């Protein structure tokens, strides 16, 4: 039996929770389709899975049934090498096309189309964009989500967590429709991970089907349903990470203690630090200038042999490849120490700096550690970064969702914990102007 946590139900009226428990309504609109950017490359190879061929539209290939197609961009032209269905020993045929040609491939085979090491359903569109071949997968949102849920979460996690992931991913995807030219979302963590047909399993399909068409809205609009792997104990308010503070993306307690990245460490030697901070010759000390309410680094100063550098927490994470910005610093081998600046109580931390007792600033004078004689062998200190969590920390924590599900929370309670004050209801055409009403004979997209 689920025992509500105080933080889970805080501020949620009983009437609202009761209203969310009702059956979903029928939505009289066609199921939206997603356009997912899979790849940008100079060369693309696609092939049929087995006996059922690829069908191509565009480039004058409409009458051909293909087993394999290679597309290259050479000197501003598309070169196509293809193998018609039949004898695999037959040599490849070639055709040259204008770079403005749009190719669309599909198959009747439920095993989909191979692209690199993955298989995809729906239609694959090939166009030239920024002097590269762009591959976009167009498919219904529910089929897309079955793969996203399996790509973002282990399929053997509790069903309530998988359902919460399905609703969050559906909301996020629908909100992105039409925002980018030629595609809606990317197949990577830049949007949400989508790995094609292999990641769709009976359990992820159940999670998607049982929440069919459900989305989260706030003030009548789809929310920005961002999520991350693990928060390290508390999620972050959106305004601490991005420019705007959204009313539903506030900091809440998280329960991700079982996450393998709840606590982590990373070490960097002198050479790695020189690569990360090349413009200042490496790093000798780190001064944290500002943190968020949850302890994530917002601004810090890196002191190197050739100067100093002010970085945001996000920039620091990118330079060092850190899992999150909820970090502290220490030097190994006992050389520099992590000390609070003398005379300060504003939370500023100084790493690798020592007081100068003879300096004019008295107790507040801080200088780098004195150099050792050149004749002595000087051990190179190693920076150890001690962190918590994985990701930006905003919105739903996936490991936290798992923990809540294991305590008995259903997917609605999980979502209401991480996205405060939202309404969970079936998607409406008015939520997204890009979704057209279905022709009268088309089946409804049912919630």
User: What's the distance, CA 95 to chain centroid?
Assistant: 38
- Name residues whose C-beta falls within 8 Å of residue 441's C-beta, 6 or more positions apart in sequence: none
| Same domain? 156 vs 235 | yes
| Same domain? 270 vs 380 | yes
Domain boundary among 117, 139, 161: 139
| Same domain? 86 vs 57 | yes
pTM recorded for the entire structure: 0.80
- Domain span holding position 55: 33-139
Distances (CA, A) of 242 to 1, 238, 417: 38, 6, 21
| Same domain? 61 vs 209 | no
Q: Is residue 24 part of a domain?
A: yes
Say which range, 53-57, 74-78, 338-342, has the weakest mean pLDDT: 338-342
Q: How confident is the model at residue 371 (pLDDT cuts 50, 70, 90)?
A: low
* Amino acid 369: pLDDT: 55
Q: Is residue 326 part of a domain?
A: yes
| Same domain? 270 vs 352 | yes
| Same domain? 66 vs 82 | yes
The total number of structural domains that make up the chain = 3
Domain boundary among 139, 169, 184: 139
Read off φ and ψ for residue 354, nearest 5 degrees.
-120, 155
How far is it, in rounded angstroms, from Cα 17 to Cα 110?
Answer: 40
Q: How confident is the model at residue 91 (pLDDT cuts 50, 70, 90)?
A: confident
Q: Is residue 359 part of a domain?
A: yes
Q: Is residue 1 part of a domain?
A: no
| Same domain? 232 vs 359 | no
| Same domain? 374 vs 342 | yes
- Name residues whose C-beta falls within 8 Å of residue 196's C-beta, 6 or more positions apart in sequence: 112, 115, 118, 119, 120, 121, 137, 147
| Same domain? 165 vs 231 | yes
User: H or E segment at 413?
Assistant: helix 411-418
234-279 tens-digit pLDDT: 999 999 999 899 999 999 999 999 999 999 999 999 999 999 999 9
Q: How confident is the model at residue 50 (pLDDT cuts 50, 70, 90)?
A: confident
Q: Is residue 405 part of a domain?
A: yes
Q: How confident is the model at residue 52 (pLDDT cuts 50, 70, 90)?
A: confident
* Amino acid 28: pLDDT: 39
Helix, strand or coil, per DSSP, at residue 403: helix
DSSP 262-288: SSEEEEE-HHHHHHHTGGGTS-SEEEE
């Amino acid at each position: 039996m689920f025992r509500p946590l105080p933080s889970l139900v805080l501020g949620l009226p009983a009437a609202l929770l009761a209203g969310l428990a009702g059956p979903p309504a029928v939505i009289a609109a066609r199921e939206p389709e997603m356009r997912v950017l899979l790849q940008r490359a100079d060369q693309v190879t696609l092939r049929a899975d087995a006996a059922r061929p690829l069908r191509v539209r565009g480039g004058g290939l409409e009458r051909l049934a293909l087993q394999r197609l290679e597309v290259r961009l050479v000197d501003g032209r598309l070169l196509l090498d293809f193998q018609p269905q039949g004898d695999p020993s037959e040599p490849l045929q070639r055709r040259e096309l204008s770079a403005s040609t749009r190719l669309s491939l599909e198959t009747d085979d439920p095993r989909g189309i191979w692209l690199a090491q993955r298989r995809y359903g729906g239609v694959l569109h090939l166009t030239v964009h920024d002097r590269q071949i762009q591959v976009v997968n167009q498919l219904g949102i529910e089929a897309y989500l079955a793969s996203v849920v399996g790509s973002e979460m282990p399929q053997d996690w509790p069903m309530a967590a998988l359902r919460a992931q399905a609703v969050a991913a559906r909301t996020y995807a629908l909100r992105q429709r039409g925002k980018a030219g030629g595609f809606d979302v990317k197949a990577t963590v830049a949007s949400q991970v989508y790995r094609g047909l292999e990641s769709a399993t009976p359990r992820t399909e159940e999670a998607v089907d049982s929440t069919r068409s459900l989305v989260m809205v706030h003030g009548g609009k789809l929310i920005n349903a961002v999520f991350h792997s693990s928060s390290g104990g508390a999620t972050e308010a959106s305004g601490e990470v991005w420019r705007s503070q959204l009313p539903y993306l506030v900091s809440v307690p998280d329960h991700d203690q079982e996450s393998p990245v709840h606590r982590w460490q990373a070490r960097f030697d002198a050479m790695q630090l020189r690569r990360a901070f090349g413009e200042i010759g490496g790093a000798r000390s780190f001064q944290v200038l500002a943190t968020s309410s949850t302890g994530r680094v917002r601004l810090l100063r890196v002191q190197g042999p050739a100067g100093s550098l002010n970085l945001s927490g996000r920039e620091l994470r990118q330079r060092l490849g850190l899992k999150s910005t909820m970090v502290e610093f220490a030097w190994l081998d006992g050389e520099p120490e992590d000390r609070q600046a003398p005379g300060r109580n504003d939370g500023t931390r100084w790493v690798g700096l020592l007081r100068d007792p003879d300096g004019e600033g008295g107790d507040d004078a801080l200088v780098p550690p004195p150099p050792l004689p050149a004749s002595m062998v000087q051990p190179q200190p190693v920076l150890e970064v001690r962190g918590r969590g994985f990701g930006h920390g905003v919105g739903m924590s996936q490991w936290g969702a798992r923990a809540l599900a294991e305590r008995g929370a259903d997917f609605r309670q999980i979502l209401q914990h991480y996205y405060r004050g939202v309404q969970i209801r079936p998607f409406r055409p008015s939520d997204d102007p890009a979704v057209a009403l279905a022709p009268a004979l088309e089946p409804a997209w049912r919630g």
